[in-house]
């Protein structure tokens, strides 16, 4: 009974420390760009869904209230999603289900974070001082991956360089580091062993927006539609005895459900490229394995062989990824909309030639929340 | 907002019903954690329906990090729901009535039939008056320290100045709500106060007196919803839970401008519009549960929903006592749905309306129409 749904508009702000705009201005820029891309105005929108990470990052509680005017929501439904770091992708998926349900024909999805308004590491430590931050939580699991897989230490450095070189092709990316190199990453300060400073995401301000539409509207849209052919979400407890924090069951389950829905049986061959949530370099090989894109133990080999570069066998984070821009609440939506950019052929200088099917992904919390979607240039794609 | 917009309202393709409800009593300070309040509700729902955790195909919760002052507080709440093996789950940083709206539409996709919706909040660790000031615009309002109680007072003043209501009308709302709550085992404030006695109390934030405000409460609530025949199968022959499905006939929510100066605070056009979209006026209403956080809001909401006069209308308004008798923030709106559903599920009402709100001065409003089988 689910109706088809497509991305028909995409908008982003420049990701940076944005002291030049208010919260209202930030979200409105992204929303207006998405609407312009869709050939619409606020008047065409039936419902708005917003997502962001904890309200404490900016100190504004339930911001859908104060942002209602800037987002053209007055007189309309506005809905707010919060699922930790996965929120951007979760918000996109909520928007899709609202269209699929038949309730709304045109839904505006907006996600943002303005990290410069607060102290992200404090907030990411659950509001406690002296916390270990996100990197401190993930580093032991990364070490566990390295031990289990036998991956050499330069894999993380390679991901860090590859994503920053990709970011040079993306004008919205926060970090533009033209002289990035393996040596620079290796020599940068160690933050959480084995993660160096340059293997970590930046703190960014920014907003991203998409317009989702039902089939009738999508067929008439000015841009080619990116059809959302499957989406999936899974959550597990943050900690319990025996929890595998490297090969996470919720991540496996989520990928299986996603591929089943999409009719994908061989992800690495049938998906042309992916935007994966990689806030710390090592999560590229970890998610390649943890989402069944390649067999266990092979993820780092793909990275090492250059297969995840643009032009490689399975390009990952063509836009520069979270390692180049991390407006936390928006990051998952950026992964999803960059996947859509690829299948629409609107990814500019970081376009993967002939991309037809792409994966957008985010995770959050203690690597316990997963949200993923598959977009394609056709409503019923045929796979290799 | 154009209430005369002549278009066909959304009618769901799939009938979805509330099949079981649970709530904790409202308490000034619940001695245990938020996940333990949630677990109490979830276990109660499973007991009443005979369902297993694995039968719940979609989980969605509403809560607010700011109440406990801990970013990511909602993450620990899943400990009270259960998430192993991993579950298909989401979370709104809104009252759980909005989580119910998302779940209701999610079931329209047809691939899953059963969902659980949970709302929880512990206001006791913080100072709500300071916390809610952070809901206001961070540039133009929050720096003034303009909090929701003061804003509710401004709304009350607008009603008085427009001669729409008197302070005695506010006291009548409180007196009736507290008296109704005497029959509600989950109420926190239940007593028999005369209007004159209430009017003799001093102002707290003029024209509001302390009793025009909700109590500070901890509490949680949850419902299970199911589609079509699955809903009938769950309730059929049930001895502890609902004996019949409580169908969600319509649900809609709308928001207004954030800036009180841009609104007529004596009106609630967002409620009016949501009521039309939810189909409130397409049948008789036996019972209405309204999210009246501050007593003047009942007068605004009655007008918006078309229940202008208690004397001339048969609708039973806030028989539970409403939020003035217990205000488990983030569950308060869902509890309104539950109170209506319980009466329909028990067969003492046939058709009812539940209302939830968010933001200062009823900025955002949700309306839900529930109905039993004849």
pLDDT tens profile A285-326: 999 999 999 999 999 999 999 999 999 999 999 999 999 999
Q: How many Å apart are CA B93 and CA B291, to the nearest integer?
A: 18
pLDDT score of B2 more than 50? no
Cβ <8 Å between A127 and B87? no
Cβ <8 Å between A77 and B66? no
Q: How many Å apart are CA A366 and CA B303, to the nearest integer?
A: 47
Q: How many Å apart are CA B239 and CA B253, to the nearest integer?
A: 34
Q: How many Å apart are CA A86 and CA B332, to the nearest integer?
A: 27
Cβ A78 vs Cβ A68: under 8 Å: yes
CB burial of residue B284 (10 Å; 0-12, 13-18, 19+): exposed
Residue of A nearest to B11 (CA): A103
**Residue B283 C-alpha, separation from nearest chain A C-alpha, in angstroms:** 22
Task: Grade residue B6 by pLDDT with cuts at 50, 70 and 90.
Answer: low
Q: Which two tokens stand for residue B166?
A: 């008197």
CB proximity A260 to B under 8 Å: no
Q: Name beta bridge partners: A375.
A: A228, A358
User: Mean of the pLDDT values across residues B295-317?
Assistant: 86
CB proximity list for A21: less than 8 A, separation 6 or greater: A13, A29
User: Mean of the pLDDT values across residues B79-102?
Assistant: 97
ipTM exceeding the 0.95 mark? yes
Cα B114–B115–B116 angle (5° rounding)? 135
CB proximity list for A260: less than 8 A, separation 6 or greater: none
User: Mean of the pLDDT values across residues A258-280?
Assistant: 98
Cβ <8 Å between A68 and B255? yes
Four-CA torsion B330, B334, B335, B341, nearest 10 degrees? 180
- From B75, B94, B101, residue closest to A238, measured CB to CB: B75
pLDDT tens profile B192-231: 999 999 999 999 999 999 999 999 999 999 999 999 999 9
Closest CA to B300 of B219, B361, B213, B374: B361
Q: Please tell me the pTM assigned to this model.
A: 0.97
Q: In whole angstroms, how far apart are CA B42 and each of B14, B50, B81, B98?
A: 25, 12, 6, 18
Q: Which two tokens stand for residue A328?
A: 């936390």
Q: How many Å apart are CA B116 and CA B109, to the nearest integer?
A: 16
Residue of B nearest to A117 (CA): B138
pLDDT score of B309 more than 80? no
Q: How many Å apart are CA A94 and CA A116, to the nearest integer?
A: 27
Mean confidence (pLDDT) of chain B: 94
Residue of A nearest to B256 (CA): A74
More confident of the two residues B161 and A136: B161
- From B89, B135, B259, residue closest to A233, measured CB to CB: B89
pLDDT tens profile A22-42: 999 999 999 999 999 999 999
The confidence score (pLDDT) of residue B8 equals 83
Cβ <8 Å between A74 and B256? yes
pLDDT score of B240 more than 80? no
pLDDT score of B1 more than 50? no
Cβ <8 Å between A56 and B94? no
Chain B residues touching residue A64 (CB < 8 angstroms): 94, 255, 364
pLDDT score of B22 more than 50? yes
Residue of B nearest to A81 (CA): B92
DSSP characters for B212-255?
GSPPP-EEEEEEEEEEHHHHHHHHTT-SSS-SS-EEEEEEEEEE
Total residues belonging to chain A: 384
CB proximity A250 to B under 8 Å: yes
Q: In B22-165, which residue ranges form alpha helices assigned H by DSSP?
A: 34-49, 65-68, 73-81, 96-107, 128-132, 148-161
The confidence score (pLDDT) of residue B310 equals 65
């Amino acid at each position: 009974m689910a109706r088809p749904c497509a991305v028909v508009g995409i908008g982003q702000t420049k990701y940076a420390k944005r002291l030049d705009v208010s919260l209202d201005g930030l979200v409105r820029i992204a929303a207006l760009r998405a609407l312009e891309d869709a050939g619409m105005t606020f008047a065409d929108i039936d419902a708005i869904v917003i997502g962001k990470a904890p309200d404490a990052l900016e100190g504004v509680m339930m911001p859908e209230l104060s942002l209602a005017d800037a987002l053209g929501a007055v007189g309309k439904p506005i809905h707010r999603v919060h699922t930790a770091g996965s929120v951007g992708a979760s918000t996109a998926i909520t928007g899709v289900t609202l269209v699929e349900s038949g309730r709304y024909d045109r839904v505006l999805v907006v996600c943002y974070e303005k990290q410069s308004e607060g102290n992200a590491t404090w907030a990411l430590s659950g509001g406690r001082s002296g916390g270990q931050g996100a990197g401190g939580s993930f580093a032991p699991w990364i070490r566990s991956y390295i031990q289990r897989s036998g991956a050499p230490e330069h894999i993380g450095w390679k991901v860090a360089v590859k994503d920053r070189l990709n970011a040079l092709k993306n004008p919205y990316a926060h970090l533009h580091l033209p002289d990035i190199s393996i040596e620079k990453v290796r020599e940068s300060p160690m933050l959480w062993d084995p993660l160096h400073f340059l293997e970590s995401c930046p703190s960014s301000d920014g907003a991203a927006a998409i317009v989702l539409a039902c089939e009738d509207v999508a067929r008439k849209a000015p841009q080619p539609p990116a059809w959302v052919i499957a989406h999936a979400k899974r959550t597990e407890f943050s900690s319990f005895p025996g929890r595998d924090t490297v090969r996470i069951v919720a991540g496996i389950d989520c990928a299986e459900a996603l591929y089943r829905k999409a009719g994908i049986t061989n992800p690495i061959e049938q998906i042309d490229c992916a935007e994966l949530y990689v806030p710390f370099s090592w999560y590229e090989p970890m998610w390649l394995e943890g989402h069944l894109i390649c067999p266990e133990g092979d993820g780092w080999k793909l990275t090492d062989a250059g297969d995840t570069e643009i032009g490689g066998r399975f390009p990952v984070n063509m836009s520069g990824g979270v390692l180049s821009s991390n407006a936390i609440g928006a990051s998952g939506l950026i992964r999803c909309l960059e996947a859509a950019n690829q299948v629409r052929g609107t990814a500019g200088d970081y376009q993967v030639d002939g991309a037809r099917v792409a994966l957008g992904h985010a995770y959050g919390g203690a690597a316990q929340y997963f949200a993923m979607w598959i977009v394609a240039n056709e409503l019923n794609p045929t796979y290799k | 907002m154009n209430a005369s917009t002549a278009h066909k309202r959304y009618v769901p393709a799939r009938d979805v019903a509330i099949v079981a409800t649970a709530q904790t009593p409202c308490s000034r300070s619940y001695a245990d954690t938020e996940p333990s309040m949630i677990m109490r509700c979830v276990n109660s729902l499973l007991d009443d329906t005979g369902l297993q955790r694995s039968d719940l195909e979609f989980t969605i919760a509403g809560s607010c990090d700011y109440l406990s002052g801990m970013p990511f507080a909602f993450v620990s709440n899943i400990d009270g729901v259960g998430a192993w093996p991993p579950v298909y789950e989401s979370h709104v940083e809104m009252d759980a009535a909005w989580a119910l709206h998302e779940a209701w539409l999610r079931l329209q996709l047809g691939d899953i039939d059963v969902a659980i919706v949970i709302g929880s909040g512990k206001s006791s660790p913080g100072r709500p008056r300071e916390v809610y000031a952070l809901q206001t615009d961070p540039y133009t309002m929050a720096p003034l320290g303009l909090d929701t109680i003061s804003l509710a007072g401004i709304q009350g003043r607008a009603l008085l100045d427009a001669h729409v209501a008197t302070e005695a009308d506010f006291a009548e709302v409180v007196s009736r709500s507290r008296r109704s709550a005497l029959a509600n085992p989950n109420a926190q404030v239940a007593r028999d106060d005369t209007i004159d006695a209430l009017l003799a109390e001093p102002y707290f934030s003029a024209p509001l007196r302390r009793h025009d405000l909700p109590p500070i409460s901890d509490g949680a609530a949850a419902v299970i919803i199911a589609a079509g025949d699955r809903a009938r199968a769950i309730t059929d022959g049930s001895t502890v839970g609902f004996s019949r499905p409580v169908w969600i006939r319509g649900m809609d929510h709308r928001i207004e401008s954030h800036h009180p100066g841009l609104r007529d605070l004596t009106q609630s056009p967002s409620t009016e519009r949501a009521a039309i979209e939810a189909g409130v006026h397409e049948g008789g209403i036996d019972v209405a549960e309204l999210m009246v956080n501050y007593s003047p809001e009942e007068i605004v909401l009655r007008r918006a929903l078309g229940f202008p006069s208690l004397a001339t209308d048969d609708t039973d308004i806030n028989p539970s006592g409403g939020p003035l008798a217990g205000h488990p923030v983030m569950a308060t709106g869902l509890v309104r749905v539950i109170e209506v559903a319980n009466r329909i599920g028990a067969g003492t009402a046939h058709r009812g309306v539940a209302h939830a709100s968010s933001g200062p001065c009823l900025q955002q409003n949700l309306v839900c129409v529930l109905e039993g089988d004849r």
